[in-house]
Amino acid sequence: MLDDIERLIGGDRYDGEAQLAGLEDEVWARIGERRDQARMGQVRVAAIALALVVGVANGGFLLLSPRPEPSEMRVFTVSTGLSPLSGLGVRG
């Protein structure tokens, strides 16, 4: 990019003016694109931070929630210690 500018400036004065006519607009367009990219980067960081805060808050609320009491139906739950395969070293 720097070589292009030096070539354009170093050229013939009248020819250089014709070539430099749209240079300022192109420079400002690039500056605008870079600003837009920087803003999108900030939006991404903010979205990630918000997701992290929501996740931590959700996990904290789950830790604080009361554990359910064992029900009377626990007689029917599967107990791996009573499994006939437990003596064989098979894990299920």
Put simply, whether the predicted model's pTM sits higher than 0.85 gets the answer no
Model pLDDT for residues 68-84, shown as the tens digit of each residue: 777 776 666 666 566 66
Model pLDDT for residues 39-69, shown as the tens digit of each residue: 999 999 999 999 999 999 988 888 887 877 7
pLDDT band, residue 23 (cuts 50/70/90) = confident
Closest C-alpha to 16, from 7, 25, 24, 3 = 7
- Please give the residue that has the higher pLDDT: either 82 or 34: 34
Rounded Cα distance between 10 and 16, Å, is: 8
| Residue 69: predicted pLDDT | 79
